[in-house]
Amino acid sequence: MTRNQEQITFPYSNLHDIRVQKEMLRREIQTDDIKIKALWNELFHSKQSPSSTPPSKRFSQLINTSAGILDAVILGWKLYHKFKRQR
The reported pTM is 0.44
- Residues 44, 51: contact at Cβ < 8 Å? no
Let me know whether 40 and 65 are in one domain. no
Nearest to residue 28, comparing CAs of 50, 48, 5? 5
Residue 80 lies in a domain: yes
Q: Which alpha helices (DSSP H) does 1-87 contain, by range?
A: 15-44, 55-85
Let me know whether 19 and 40 are in one domain. yes
At 49 the pLDDT is: 66
Residues near 87 by Cβ (< 8 Å), separated by ≥ 6? none
Residue 21 lies in a domain: yes
Task: Give the structural domain span for 35.
Answer: 8-46
At 6 the pLDDT is: 67
Instruction: Work out the number of other CB atoms within 10 angstroms of the CB of residue 53.
Output: 13
State which residues of the chain have pLDDT below 70. Answer: 1-6, 48-50, 85-87
Residue 3 lies in a domain: no
- Residues 39, 33: contact at Cβ < 8 Å? no
Domain count, the chain: 2
Let me know whether 41 and 71 are in one domain. no
Residue 2 lies in a domain: no
